[in-house]
Structure 1
Amino acid sequence: MTRTRVALTADGRVELDGDVVRARRLPDEHGRTRVALVASQALLLAGDRVRIEVEVAAGRSLEIVEVTGTVAYDMRGGQATWLVDVRLAAGAVLVWPSLPFVVADGADVLRLTHVELAAGARAVLRETLVLGRTGETGGRVRTTVRARLDDRPLLVETFVAEPAAVVDPALLGGSRCLDTVLVLGARLEHPCALQLDGEGTMLRGMSVHAHDADLGDVLAAAVGVVAPVPLPAPRPAGDALLPAADPFPPPAASWDETATRPG
């Protein structure tokens, strides 16, 4: 099994470790620490077992950026697994808008995502499953998401797509792409949203092509709910009435000059 670990510590340090899926620090944006995930070789192939661990300390905010999508290739009877384990401390925030995960003909993939949120923690996760590349019907994929908030179950869901069922109108209405935005630890008000029993919201879009199932606006709204862009600190009252400081002030008068200046 290959393992990638991303940890944002209480003092703001970022601990990164990984081989096949490598983590790289990016410049911060909107008050969030940003880390990119980069595959160093073709993924996924038969026998691959990828595990990604993400930890965010209390009060810290992290964004995971995927540089490219992932393709699960023909495994010729084999299988691959993709495991994600997320742990958010009290008040922590995670934003992870993952890129499309393509399940090619002949692929057989097990995806497991576990998210553990302490009280006050919030997360936005996006998952886009695409059944097959151009001209394909796609392989087999089983994806399970389990989320717990403050030690209580928040969501348990399993989705299974079989190759023979892709053309079945009962599955995705004949679509090949399932796009999901999941908000955990907060609620996003939207007319098409599925509100969880606890603090959470799920929104989905289905389409024939990945670029048609565009939940970009929903994603932006979700991020705004869980990780609003911090506003600049307000200026003290009266600052607006003060003149701007001169970048080249005249030299201060010496003691002698001040003493002899005419009154």
Structure 2
Amino acid sequence: MTGRTAAGTEPADPTIVAVEREDTGRHLARELRPGAFLAPRPLLPAPDRVRIALVGTRAGLLAGDDLLLHVSVGPGARLELTEPSGLVAYDHRGGASRWRARVDIAEGGELHWDARPFVVCDGARVERSMDIALAAGARMLWRDTLVLGRSGERGGSVRATTRVLYDGHDLLVEDLDLTEPDLRELPGVLGPHRVIGSVTALGSRPQGPPHPYRTEPAGPGVQVRLLDTVAPAIEAELAAVWQSWRYR
């Protein structure tokens, strides 16, 4: 999984995380390959899953950067991904960057991904894509926060696309175009809000405490998405949703 962002840039090395479950029931990391931006580090083992931290090896995204991540979970395996810190896309000074992730989860597999905030600073221009393929009976729980700008900033340009396939059929397809600040700040779009946070369950519909912003796609899944002007309030509310759905 390699690619180019613009003329003259070199292909980025992908970060690869692949886990599987043996016939004995033991979980193991089949491949942990550091990439150009992230290094997978094993955490203390758990009896029923593999726990991996995605550790940043660079300060953030700059013009021409192309972050690639491939995560695969084998049949019946369980993976827990955590991020010790968020990712910042700095002023690209007229350039652009990309963040691309691909997730494949086999039948009976499960992934919990507790992602930290993705911050798009003034002057950044980022394309961000998440492609997820779940086999029948696979599940994923994903927490994600997008922040437009640091404190006092309006935020740069970002287009975030997500496509989720479940058993070969579209479950969730989204194109979040936040490239033009004047348009995204209109009433009915984001308005004054610059923080977008969500917890998404795919392949299942956990029945935690009721939430006013709970939505369900046309298939096995559910999402809670929140908007705010600052991150702490969203993070606290999403943490509560995450915990209530985590083991359901």
Settle same-fold status: TM greater than 0.5. Answer: yes
Q: CA deviation at 1:46?
A: 0.6
Distance 1:29 1:173 in 2: 43
Match of 1:13 among 18, 22, 28: 28
- 1:1-263 aligned at under 5 Å gives the runs 1-11=12-22, 12-14=27-29, 15-19=31-35, 20-29=37-46, 31-161=48-178, 162-189=180-207, 190-192=210-212, 193-213=214-234, 214-225=237-248
What residue identity is the alignment partner of 1:39?
G
Aligned positions, number: 225
Residue identity over aligned pairs, in percent, reads: 40
Moved over 4 A (4+): none
What residue identity is the alignment partner of 1:56?
V
What residue identity is the alignment partner of 1:10?
R
Q: CA deviation at 1:191?
A: 3.7
SS at match of 1:220: helix
SS at match of 1:45: coil
The answer to whether the 8 Å contact 1:138/1:166 transfers is no
What residue identity is the alignment partner of 1:46?
A
Kindly provide the CA deviation profile for residues 197-226 of structure 1, in whole angstroms up to 9, marking residues without a partner as x.
10000111111111111311111122122x
The answer to whether the 8 Å contact 2:141/2:246 transfers is yes
Distance 1:83 1:30 in 2: 31
**Do the aligned partners of residues 196 and 34 (structure 1) sit closer, same or farther apart at CA in structure 2, a change above 3 Å counting?**
same
Unaligned runs of 5+ in 1: 226-263
Unaligned runs of 5+ in 2: 1-11
SS at match of 2:241: helix
The structure with the largest alpha-carbon Rg is: 1
**Do the aligned partners of residues 132 and 9 (structure 1) sit closer, same or farther apart at CA in structure 2, a change above 3 Å counting?**
same
What residue identity is the alignment partner of 1:203?
V
Q: CA deviation at 1:9?
A: 2.1
Distance 1:109 1:92 in 2: 31
**Do the aligned partners of residues 191 and 40 (structure 1) sit closer, same or farther apart at CA in structure 2, a change above 3 Å counting?**
closer
After TM superposition, the score normalised by the length of structure 1 is 0.82
After TM superposition, the score normalised by the length of structure 2 is 0.87
Compute the RMSD of aligned alpha carbons: 1.4
Q: CA deviation at 1:166?
A: 4.9
**Do the aligned partners of residues 172 and 28 (structure 1) sit closer, same or farther apart at CA in structure 2, a change above 3 Å counting?**
farther
Q: CA deviation at 1:165?
A: 3.5
SS at match of 2:45: strand
